[in-house]
């Protein structure tokens, strides 16, 4: 992570905060005013960073991929990197109060870890994923484990066997590792995917509980047992508060920190949160749509919380391709709510361009697909009590054979 911070500094995309800054509200407010990487020299006495990869260009820089090649390159990954064990982690006394864990908004339940990756290992399978974690005291966290996801399933399996789930939590990893941990990959392939993104090999170290971790500023060792606690309220991707739930408790048994560590925080509902939520799904949608028509680009928009709205740029082969693209997108990312398909001449990153396509190429009686009673995102405040929602697809492409009627005046 330190190498990437210096890369961003050299690129002129780093904002430095030299004076003291509080982890309660002040640092989150500063991060909310910019998409630049924000580096804090004194975050409650420790160095800190926010907005590490808050833009697509920053993510491309972190992965060392040209931005225009980012989507097809990620779509072509095969999660086949090599993970090389290189030593062990020596953990000392655990004390979460020594870390500048942030309280982001006034109605939050408390201080939350937001960038931390929970690595867990059980039955020979290791998983890595980001979970929000509420600080309960110096050695305990309440973690939101989404039902059916891998950490939840491993924890459930451990409890069924009368055991606890060993975990190691990393804070301050290279963005490639963070991105891999946010991506739905084949079982146990997060570290292999990170290795592939890092050039082929990723060195890791083994914690005392057998869990493998990559290079990180801070490593917390512990386990998830049968204990539970209230978790929430917490601001999620939509900028609204997620409700209070009863969630598992993580007990921290050891802590390792680099000398003069750098804490990484992600602003809930902020640009980096949206990027890490949505960008891993863009290659999946790209691959799915490529099976039905020529796909040029996929963008999960910021206004759609980086998660609920997709704009798909295609080169149609037949008149029905746009609607097939819509269905493929909904199947690839089931949390999508609205999809707009546009032609090659429309920039999918420009909301003005997309609106223009809707204004001039959509007939409401022919070009809208409305699908009711389908599962949507649990984060959408307007979902029904049973979890279902309404999805809408918009074919904002030109009618094939009538393209000359849609020619736009240009000087180039």
pLDDT band at 380 (very low <50, low <70, confident <90, very high): confident
- Looking up tokens 């924890």, which residue turns up? 155
**pLDDT for 48-66, tens place per residue?**
999 999 999 999 999 999 9
- What is the mean predicted confidence (pLDDT) over 313-335? 96
220 token code pair: 């917390």
Q: What is the pLDDT of residue 412?
A: 75
**pTM of the predicted structure, to 2 decimals:** 0.94
Query: 254 CB contacts (<8 Å, ≥6 apart)?
Result: 91, 92, 93, 94, 207, 208, 220, 221, 222
Give, for 85, the enclosing helix (H) or strand (E): strand 82-88
Cα distances (Å, whole numbers) of residue 285 to 72, 139, 323, 340: 11, 40, 14, 13
Q: Around 1, how many Cα atoms within 13 Å sit in the side-chain half-sphere?
A: 30
pLDDT of residue 385: 86
Contact 300, 335 (CB under 8 A): no
Locate 127 and state its tokens.
């998983």
pLDDT digits (tens, 9 = 90+) for 81-117: 999 999 999 999 999 999 999 999 999 999 999 999 9
Structural tokens at position 142: 């309440």
Mapped onto helix, strand or coil, the DSSP state of residue 134 is strand
CA-to-CA distance for 237 and 249, rounded, in angstroms?
23
Catalytic residue of the set 236, 242, 343, 367: 236
Mean pLDDT of 9-28: 97
Q: What is the pLDDT of residues 264-278, one digit of tens each?
A: 999 999 999 999 999
| Residue 236 annotated to the active site | yes
The tens digit of pLDDT for each residue in 145-184 reads 999 899 999 999 999 999 999 999 999 999 999 999 999 9
Say whether pLDDT at 215 is over 90: yes
Above 90 in pLDDT, residue 378?
no
């Amino acid at each position: 992570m330190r190498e990437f911070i210096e890369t961003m500094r050299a690129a002129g995309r780093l904002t430095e905060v030299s004076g003291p800054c509080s982890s309660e509200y002040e640092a989150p407010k500063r991060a909310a005013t910019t998409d630049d990487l924000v580096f804090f020299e004194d975050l409650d006495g420790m160095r800190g960073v926010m907005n590490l990869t808050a833009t697509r260009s920053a993510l491309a820089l972190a992965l060392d991929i040209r931005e225009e090649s980012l989507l097809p390159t990620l779509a072509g990954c095969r999660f086949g990197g090599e993970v090389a064990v290189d030593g062990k982690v020596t953990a000392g006394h655990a004390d979460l109060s020594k870390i500048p864990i942030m309280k982001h908004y006034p109605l939050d339940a408390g201080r939350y870890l937001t960038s931390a990756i929970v690595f867990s290992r059980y039955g020979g399978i290791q998983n890595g994923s980001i979970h929000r974690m509420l600080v309960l005291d110096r050695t305990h966290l309440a973690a939101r484990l989404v039902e059916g996801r891998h950490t939840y399933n491993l924890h459930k399996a451990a409890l069924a066997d009368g055991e606890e789930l060993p975990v190691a939590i990393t804070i301050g990893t290279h963005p490639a590792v963070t991105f891999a941990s946010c991506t739905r990959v084949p079982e146990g392939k997060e570290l292999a995917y990170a290795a592939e993104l890092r050039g082929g090999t990723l060195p890791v170290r083994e914690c005392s509980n057998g869990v493998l971790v990559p290079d990180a500023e801070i490593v917390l060792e512990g386990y998830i047992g049968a204990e539970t606690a209230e978790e929430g309220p917490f601001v999620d991707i939509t900028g609204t508060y997620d409700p209070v739930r009863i969630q598992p408790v993580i007990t921290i048994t050891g802590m390792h920190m680099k000398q003069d560590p750098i804490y990484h925080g992600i602003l809930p509902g902020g640009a980096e949160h949206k990027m890490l939520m949505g960008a891993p799904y863009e290659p999946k949608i790209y691959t799915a749509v490529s099976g039905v028509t020529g796909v040029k680009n996929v963008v999960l928009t910021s206004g759609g919380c980086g998660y609920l709205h997709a704009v798909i740029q295609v080169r149609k082969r037949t008149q029905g391709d746009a609607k097939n693209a819509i269905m493929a997108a909904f199947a690839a990312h089931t949390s999508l709510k609205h999809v707009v398909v546009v032609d090659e001449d429309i920039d999918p990153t420009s909301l003005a361009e997309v609106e223009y396509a809707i204004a001039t190429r959509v007939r409401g009686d022919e070009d809208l697909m409305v699908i009711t009673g389908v599962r949507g995102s649990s984060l959408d405040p307007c979902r029904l009590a049973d979890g279902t929602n309404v999805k809408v697809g918009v074919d904002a492409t030109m009618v094939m054979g009538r393209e000359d009627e849609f020619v736009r005046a240009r000087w180039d």
